[in-house]
Amino acid sequence: MEIFRAPRVTLIARPQFLEPAHLAVQWKGTGSDGERLAEYAGRICYMSQANPAGRSTAEYLENIKKQGHGSVLEHAVYVLLIEGISRSCSHELVRHRAGFGYSQLSQRYVDESNAAFVMPPAIVGDAALEAEWEQQVSAAQAAYVHAVERLMERYGWVADRIHRRKLAREAARSVLPNATEVKIVVSANTRAWRTMLELRTGEGAELEIRRMAVDALRVLRDEAPAFFADFETYRAEDGHDAARATYHKV
Ligand X SMILES: Cc1cc2nc3c(=O)[nH]c(=O)nc-3n(C[C@H](O)[C@H](O)[C@H](O)COP(=O)(O)OP(=O)(O)OC[C@H]3O[C@@H](n4cnc5c(N)ncnc54)[C@H](O)[C@@H]3O)c2cc1C
204 near ligand X, judged by CB under 6 A: yes
Q: How far apart are CA 71 and CA 73, in angstroms?
A: 5
Q: How far apart are CA 218 and CA 139, in angstroms?
A: 36
Q: How far apart are CA 12 and CA 80, in angstroms?
A: 6
97 near ligand X, judged by CB under 6 A: yes
**Selected catalytic residue, list 169, 200, 210, 221:** 200
Closest approach of Cβ 195 to ligand X, in Å? 5
23 near ligand X, judged by CB under 6 A: no
197 near ligand X, judged by CB under 6 A: no
Q: How many residues bind ligand X (CB under 6 A)?
A: 9
Closest approach of Cβ 94 to ligand X, in Å? 9
> Other C-beta atoms within 10 Å of 203: how many?
14
**Span near ligand X by CB under 6 A; candidates 90-98, 115-123, 164-172, 231-239:** 90-98
Tell me if residue 211 is catalytic: no
Q: Residue 176 or residue 196: which is nearer to ligand X going by CB? A: 196
Closest approach of Cβ 43 to ligand X, in Å? 26
In terms of Cβ atoms closer than 10 Å to its own Cβ (0-12, 13-18, 19+), residue 163 is exposed
Q: How far apart are CA 224 and CA 35, in angstroms?
A: 7
- Do residues 94 and 102 make contact, with C-beta atoms less than 8 angstroms apart? yes
Binding site for ligand X (CB under 6 A): 95-98, 195, 199-200, 204-205
Residues that are catalytic: 200
